[in-house]
Amino acid sequence: MSKQEIHAMPKWRQYWALTKPRVTQLAVFCAIIGMFLATPGMVPWKVLIGGSIGIWLLAGAAFAVNCLVEQKVDAKMRRTAWRPSATGELSTLNIIIFAVVMGAIGMVLLWFFANPLTMWATAATFIGYAIIYTLLLKPATPQNIVIGGLSGAMPPALGWAAVSNSFPAEAWLLVLIIFTWTPPHFWALALYRREDYRQSGLPMLPVTHGERFTLLHILLYTLILIAATILPFIYQMSGYFYLVSALVLGFIFLAYSIALYKNYSDELAKKTFRFSIIYLSLLFAALLIDHYL
């Protein structure tokens, strides 16, 4: 997208872009699954709607802060140079006000429609992603996505807490799944975007340790992910429908990882990245279906 196209974009779409809507939608989807898994019946409407919107607003605010903090880095990367924060279409003050208003409304909604525990936990996740990960970890270590992955893995636990006002072991199993999914998902992207990251100066694994090392880590983390996805069945929070779904999806993901390791190409890395998003969506959908079988 050119600067001219960004300039011609309506302001509301520029602000919308700051929230990274596709990523936010996946996070909220996982949070909603967490809500339904937290109860044997149906989620109360006020929690489902108010909680989902509250989590969405705080997630969007965190991504807006991320765009603000990384505007100089984003400007150096083809994948992100179009963002209104990177082009200067939206000023620092505009973005700060936008993020603060979104975050404040999100916290109020979670307080009144869910519970204070969910509100504070979601706020802590906001700080973890927007400040600790973006400001401190991402520019400091090639293991940034691993260490900082906990923030991105929290949505299903936040959804669970919105319904139950607690964080039981089952909720943390869902967090573990996303935590182990994040490295192979993100490193597939980082591989075919490695020149972008090299120009940005960020110490991403394909830049600091090379292609082969990153491919090995994708393969190993995929195996860890498959093991993690079996735990809900072992813990008896899910049944055979989920187990079969998890194994089938896991082996498809593993096939992608092995193919990448054996014969890397940017096109295959793109396909692996895209499948990883479908994988997580289908995996959590299988959890939901299994819950009501």
Helix 266-292, helix 210-234: angle, nearest 10: 10
Six token digits for residue 168: 């039981």
In the CATH scheme, what architecture does the domain 168-293 have? Up-down Bundle (1.20)
In this prediction, residue 139 carries a pLDDT of 74
In this prediction, residue 151 carries a pLDDT of 83
Tell me the C-alpha to C-alpha distance, in Å, between residue 80 and each of 159, 183, 193, 196, 248.
Answer: 30, 20, 11, 9, 34
Per-residue pLDDT of the chain (293 residues; tens, 9 = 90+): 545 555 567 888 888 988 999 999 999 999 999 999 999 989 999 999 999 999 999 999 999 998 888 888 878 877 777 888 888 888 899 999 999 999 999 999 999 999 999 999 999 998 888 778 877 777 777 777 777 778 889 999 999 999 999 999 999 999 999 999 999 999 999 999 888 888 877 788 888 898 999 999 999 999 999 999 999 999 999 999 999 999 999 999 999 999 999 999 999 999 999 999 999 999 999 999 999 98
Six token digits for residue 63: 């991504």
First to last CA, the chain: 45
In this prediction, residue 3 carries a pLDDT of 55
**Residue ranges covered by each domain of the chain:** 1-165, 168-293
Phi-psi category of residue 28: left, alpha or beta, with phi > 0 → left and psi -120 to 50 → alpha: alpha
In this prediction, residue 101 carries a pLDDT of 96
Number of H helices, E strands in the chain: 17, 0
In the CATH scheme, what architecture does the domain 1-165 have? Orthogonal Bundle (1.10)
In this prediction, residue 180 carries a pLDDT of 96
The pTM (predicted TM-score) of the whole model is 0.91
In this prediction, residue 141 carries a pLDDT of 78
In this prediction, residue 6 carries a pLDDT of 57
